[in-house]
Amino acid sequence: MSPRPGIDVEIKGPLFKKGAKITRDAMEDAVQELVELGEQRLDELLRPDPGVYLSASKSTGHYRRSVSGESQGLRGRIEDGRVVYGPWLEFGGRGFKGYATFRKVGQEIEKKADDVLEKNIRKAVQRMKGR
């Protein structure tokens, strides 16, 4: 069998060994920052307004307090703590269309992701240069 055409790219050398960890750290920092931005935005949106997220005249804010995020490596997730009525609030049902808060915040974060990653990569480049 004849060899397949292709191009191999390999990064070598001490700068890149150091740079690989710094770059990975920068990407992990970006994921953490996006999770934190999402948590903050959800906290803002889930603050009860009259008639929104209130099932009684006095709300305990349980749903808002149940929202938390975590990042691990290059993955992050924000959840509602599996609150039983969470899917109903998000997606709706029986004549209620849902608030789609997580979807909306997810779209906002997606729009910010490039800027957040770029900022963190810029910091990483400065660290690689020893600044």
Q: Where in the chain are the domains? A: 14-128
Contact (Cβ atoms closer than 8 angstroms) between residue 25 and residue 124: yes
Amino acid identity for residue 72 in this structure? Q
Q: Which pLDDT does position 122 carry in this prediction? A: 93
Paired strand residues for 71: 76
Q: pTM for the complete prediction?
A: 0.78
Signed CA dihedral, 112, 117, 123, 125: sign only: negative
Considering the chain, what is the average pLDDT of its residues?
Answer: 82
**Above pLDDT 90, what percent of the chain?**
38
**Above pLDDT 70, what percent of the chain?**
76
* Cα–Cα–Cα angle for 29, 30, 31, rounded to 5 degrees: 90
Pairing of strands 75-79, 68-72: antiparallel
Confidence of residue 51 (pLDDT cuts 50, 70, 90): low
